[in-house]
Amino acid sequence: MAEMDATIETSSGGEYEREPVPKSALMGPGKFWGMYAGEHAAGTEFMIGPLFLGAGASLQDLILGLLLGNILAVLTWRYLVVPIAMAKRMTLYYQLERIAGGSMVKIYNVVNGVLFCFLAGAMVTVSASAVGVPFNINYTVPDNLFALGEVSFTMLVVMVGVVMAIVAAAGYETVARVANLAAPWMIAIFAACGIVSLGQMEVTSYASLTENWNNAIEFVQGKNPNAMQLNFWQIVLFAWLCNGAMHFGMADLTIFRFARDKSSGWAPAIGMFLGHYMAWIAAALLLAVQIKLSQDATPNPGRLAWMSLGWTGILCVIIAGWTTANPTIYRAGLAFQGLFPRSSRVSMTLLAGAVATIAGAFPNLSGKLLDFVGTYGTVLGAMGAVIVVDFYLMRKFGLTDEYAAKSGITFNSAVLLAWVLPVAVGLWLIFWQGVFAAYLVIPCWFACGILYLILSKFVQHPVPEYDQLASK
């Protein structure tokens, strides 16, 4: 076993992509609090918040639903992701390679990297919408999902995307440093947006706030009678599972492998409650103000921030999109590196940045975030169950953990079937039966884990060296 582990390639640039992170490279909790604050108090909050209002969510359901959903999300990070991350200290991609085999993981890495790039692309779009406001460059959303915006806006997207890719390529330390510097200021600006919005709507009580909110919903629903109607439990599940790929899907093993102690696992709380709670509500209020003052329900992030805080709001949208896209592109770059193990992380991160920039050039994609994040959580979240089952249950059922690495196979068919079958059913329910995407994340996760355990009984063959070690 020692000889096999010794063949692992040494990482380049101190990122330890294909080996456990050594003690000398571990980071204290502060790095993680700053990164999660920067990543989740983000440019996309200026898009997601208004979408709740547009989807007819009541103010009470939004306040209480987001509270419960974000508590569940934090607990999932802390008790599902962190123990495995600290025990293994490997990236998601390398850990999965040891379980599923290099050839099988290439399939997952393509899907993973592309979906992360599309998510980052929405953040590029949001930042570009803010850059365009002072230059009178319009952020317009075409009817066609895959239609480009104006030429001038597309050029802005390219410039913003290049900057984001360069920062992400500098590595996790740089990504964390940027987030640490920007997060406190951004959080204050989000709070200011909410406070200013209350003044602009002349809110004097909770009753008057509810009245303004309901009037805005009636306006939006009148423009689009077929719009989604979000209820309390849909809001809870969306808040919990919109980051399903990161916690249930174990993508943040890549982040928490650097954690020195378990207390770092509470760091997502700052992102959830200041980003996915306060910032979403504040951003939704910005749209309510715009509807009241100009009878316009277009969720243009740059213009919403401009109407509230002027140049400060514009700068906040730009930086918020930047600090969120950076770690997302970083993750996607590591996924692409899994396809080409001999390539450098920097080159693959730049490739991820290019794909994200292309996605950002299609403005309509950013308007589909409520649907997209639930779908990508369903697709990517399920694979996390394989890692959890492999870590906690395989030996208890007399099976070999990290089977691909220990048996020398490059394709573990049990992993592929366990992942593809439930996800295929989930996607069918989402796209052909109209099921709310967030409903499918947990059922697909459990189905994948159970199938992996059952199929491994049929696929695995004894690995004598490791079976002897395990029995001692």
Give the mean pLDDT of the chain: 84
* Cα 100 from Cα 413, distance rounded (Å): 8
Any alpha helices (H) in 310-412, and if so which ranges? 311-339, 345-360, 363-366, 369-392, 403-407
- Look up the pTM and report it: 0.85
* The predicted structure's pLDDT at residue 471: 46
Which pLDDT belongs to residue 14? 55
Name which of 117-121, 267-271, 403-407, 461-465 the model is least confident about. Answer: 461-465
Contact 415, 452 (CB under 8 A): yes
Answer whether 191's CB lies under 8 Å from 285's CB. Answer: no
As a whole number, mean pLDDT of residues 357-382 equals: 84
Cβ burial, residue 146 (10 Å; 0-12/13-18/19+): exposed
Rounded distance between C-alpha atoms, residue 138 and residue 197, angstroms: 23
pLDDT-derived band at 466 (thresholds 50, 70, 90) equals low
Using CA atoms, how far apart are residues 385 and 469, in angstroms rounded to an integer?
25
CA-to-CA distance for 369 and 358, rounded, in angstroms? Answer: 17
Mean pLDDT, residues 393-401 taken together: 93
In total, the chain counts a number of residues equal to 472
pLDDT in the model for residue 205: 92
Report how far residue 427's alpha carbon sits from residue 300's, in angstroms, rounded to the nearest whole number.
29
Q: For residue range 210-235, what is the model confidence (pLDDT) as tens digits?
A: 999 999 998 988 777 666 678 999 99
pLDDT of res. 33: 86
pLDDT at 420 over 50: yes
What SS3 state is found at 58? Answer: coil
**Torsion 240-164-252-426 (CA) sign:** positive
Measured CA distances, 167 to 115, 173, 346 (Å): 20, 10, 10
Q: Which of 211, 304, 267, 277 is nearest to 37 (CA)?
A: 267
111-131 core/surface letters (b: 16 or more CB in 10 A; e: else): bbbbbbbbbbbbbbbbbbbbb
In a 3-state reduction of DSSP, which class is residue 259?
strand
Phi, psi of 300 (to 5 degrees): -85, 105
The radius of gyration computed from the CA coordinates of the chain, to the nearest angstrom, equals 22
Determine which of 276-285, 329-338, 376-385 has the lowest per-residue pLDDT on average: 329-338
What percentage of residues in the chain have a pLDDT greater than 70? 90
Q: What is the pLDDT of residue 179?
A: 62
pLDDT at 7: 30
Tell me the HSE value of 106 on the side-chain side, using a 13 A CA sphere: 7
**pLDDT tens-digit map of 43-64:** 678 778 888 998 889 999 999 9
pLDDT per position as a tens digit, 318-360: 777 777 777 778 778 877 876 777 778 788 888 888 898 898 8
Residues in a beta bridge with 259: 27
